Amino acid sequence: MKWYVTAFAILLSYQEVAASDDDFRCDRDADTQRSELEIKQHFEAKGWEIRRIKREHGCFEIYAIDDQGRRHKGYVDPETLDVLSDDD
């Protein structure tokens, strides 16, 4: 077998793993989901400074700085306001 066939197979398998890193799904009823404003107010009440909020796959992705100055990028469940993933 040629070396480039093996290298190509390794590359394809890596792309599949890398693509699934942030694959969060928040499939909820529209009636039970909180708004972007409610999520912002929830985290600001904790002392966080929200830099950006965007909806992705039904979840909210937030970019924020907490009360101790640490940066956060993570996904928030729009119903429970739980942080599902946090990339400090």
Phi, psi of 85 (to 5 degrees): -150, 140
pLDDT at 76 exceeding the cut of 70: yes
Residue 62 has a pLDDT of: 93
Span 6-60, pLDDT tens digits:
766 676 666 544 444 456 677 766 667 788 899 999 999 999 999 999 988 888 9
DSSP helix/strand/coil, 37: helix
Q: Does the pTM of the predicted model rise above 0.85?
A: no
- Of the candidates 13, 20, 18, the one whose C-alpha atom is nearest the C-alpha of residue 5 is 13
Element (H, E) at 3: helix 3-19
Average pLDDT estimate for 61-74: 91
